[in-house]
Structure 1
Amino acid sequence: MDGEPFNKTVFGIATPEARYSLAAVTFLVIFISIVGNVLVLVASLRDAIKLDKISVILVKNIAIADLSYAFLVILQVGVSLIAHEWLYGKILCHVTTYLEHVLSATDILLICALNISKLIVILKPFAARQWSNKTAYVIVGLIFLGANVYPVCESVFRKVYFDYRSYRCTFLHEAGVWALTDPLFTVFIVAIPTLVIILSTVGLLVYVNKVSGIHKKAVFTNVWISAIFVISYAPMCTYVLGEKWILHDSKSGNLSTDSVYKNLYRWGMFLKFVNSTANPLIYYATIMSFNTYVKSLFTTKRPKINKVGKFEMGVL
């Protein structure tokens, strides 16, 4: 692997202590993500997330995407940090690269859909009530299909390599027309949806006083989800959009020591992992029914479940 573009000698984290410390943080992120998102999925099945039906379905699929990302991407990074190399062979290098791009795009588009649907619920409440669960699942299906477009194209035409800056496999940056694909992907699948998320969040804050009850509280859930998402994706998005200029304008002349080229990429990637852990914590802090349900699981009082297996608020 040392002959590859982002090799161990130049870009790897040299000291075992630093790698093990980062691996420990990575495994903590995985643990929080797994526990939190499993609780979200169980709570959604128990009807313990009291939001409108479209939001519940989107929240459930965000949890599935985040849980998959923790298992299929972040876990491999943690193992690679300890081993100081990629252990799983070329095929799994391709698979994890593909899945990372699919799951990242899916997560972004689901959050975008969550904000837009909530804004429609506020502005067009009567129309929103006509939506069925089938409508939500069609939206989710289209998002999953759309998230596969870029990775399919890249997997067919581009190589993958193990990148020691982030200790994960990724598509190789190449000259020519393929040098434009990463920025284009970032614009259409990350930047534009992020702009929509920001604008829709502003819209939610503007119209928040028009609603009450669970819809009003749900606005703040959306705001926090959007804020954490933007913060966690901003460094990597900035890097990908500016990669051409970062490569061209490196002042050091030695890319291995250039802080923007190596460190913005590395820490931007690890900050991105935070997004997979944050949402369950946000739900716990902002959705009373989910908060009550989770607390009930860790006390002597059991959750109040009705005859059809659904969670009920009230005295436990």
Structure 2
Amino acid sequence: MNSTNSLTSDFSSLGLTVKSDAERYPLISWCLIAVLGSLTGNTIILLSTIRYNAIRLDKISVLLINNIAVSDIAMAVFAVHPTLVSLIYNRWPYGETMCYIHHFLQVPTYLSAVYLICALHLSKLHNLLYPFQSISRTRRSAYLISAVAWLLSAVTPLVQIATDRRDVTFDYRIYRCKYGFRAPVWQWLLAPMSTVVTVLPNIIVVGTTIALLVIVKKAKGRTNKQGAITALYIGFVYLLANSPVAFYTTIYMNISHLMSPGARGFFDVNVYGFAYFVLFINCFTNGFVYYRSVNSFKIFVKRVALAGVSRMSFRQVVTPFVKGDIQLQTLNRPTNI
């Protein structure tokens, strides 16, 4: 990759990857929704939890939720925003160096969210199976879990940099820079690394989501299931966003040799592009998820909205949260699993 004009992938020669205005405008709208939704929703989540204690779940879940919010904001800034600008210009406008930076920053933002969601699901499952043990866990363990998730997310880009840091191209199918995996070492390294880095975490999310669903459905009486339901919502959104990519990488890639050239072109361009744009669902839906599943957060959002249409000041609206005067049946219990 020697110049800005060379920031194209092998697929640019097909003549099908540079999208028309009719194709780009809906994608521009989608990316704009993702950027604005992520920055707004996740900022509200961080503000409401850090300053006003508006998400009243167990302390480990709250800390993991905050880290997921930070990861989603980073994804909006380092992945969705450059894609949006590239769609507007119909090319990569930032130059060669920024293409490298863009790729090596967007990878850990995505992977960190995956690992943090895995940790949240495992934590919720542990709370349901061993409720008395979960009470003794401290915020220190949550900080440690979060740190491990962020460190693991940096492994993939560091390996890519060590292998061939210049193997990055601009892909018109997804309008962002991606790694080419062209070095000979990837012939034997790619499969086991992909299994550990992406396949295994996805299996964990799928397995824990199913387990949480079964446990929540079987729970009787007035057991507080608010935290587990929140994890279920997050798991469902994650699976929705990642299913197209999983289909492309695990199913299509293994049967593509059986297809005609025309069918392969359709999957390699259209389906591939669709799959990677759907991933943006992950970064802007958390606010809606918590609004639907966490009663205290729903009350906080409603009271903030009330301040906007009434004569009450913002301080008057949030004071009950600061003082802990908001009373809910689900909030009066010692823990929210």
Partner of 2:319: 305
For structure 2, the residue ranges without an aligned partner over 5 or more in a row are: 329-337
Change (3 A) 1:4 1:48: closer
SS at match of 1:162: strand
* Identity level (%): 28
Residue of 19, 23, 30 corresponding to 2:24: 19
Q: How does 1:1-316 map to 2 (within 5 A)?
A: 1=5, 4-7=9-12, 10-45=15-50, 46-158=52-164, 159-174=167-182, 176-208=184-216, 209-210=218-219, 215-241=224-250, 244-245=253-254, 248-252=257-261, 258-299=265-306, 300=310, 301=312, 302-305=316-319, 309=322, 312-314=325-327
Deviating more after overlay: 32-41 vs 207-216 = 207-216
SS at match of 2:11: coil
SS at match of 1:203: helix
Contact 2:79–2:106 under 8 Å retained in 1: yes
Deviating more after overlay: 209-218 vs 84-93 = 209-218
CA deviation vs aligned residue, 1:63-85 (integer Å, no higher than 9, x gap): 10001101111010010001011
SS at match of 2:237: helix
Change (3 A) 1:184 1:247: farther
The amino acid that maps onto 1:115 is H
The amino acid that maps onto 1:47 is N
Contact 2:12–2:18 under 8 Å retained in 1: no
Contact 1:160–1:170 under 8 Å retained in 2: yes
Structure 1 residue 126: deviation in Å?
1.7
Contact 1:86–1:162 under 8 Å retained in 2: yes
* TM-score scaled by length of structure 2: 0.84
The alignment yields a C-alpha RMSD, in angstroms, of 2.5
SS at match of 2:10: coil
Structure 1 residue 123: deviation in Å?
1.4
Instruction: Return the alpha-carbon distance in structure 1 between the equivalents of residues 262 and 266 of structure 2.
Output: 12
Change (3 A) 1:50 1:254: closer
Instruction: Return the alpha-carbon distance in structure 1 between the equivalents of residues 49 and 185 of structure 2.
Output: 44
For structure 1, the residue ranges without an aligned partner over 5 or more in a row are: none
The count of corresponding residues between Structure 1 and Structure 2 is 312
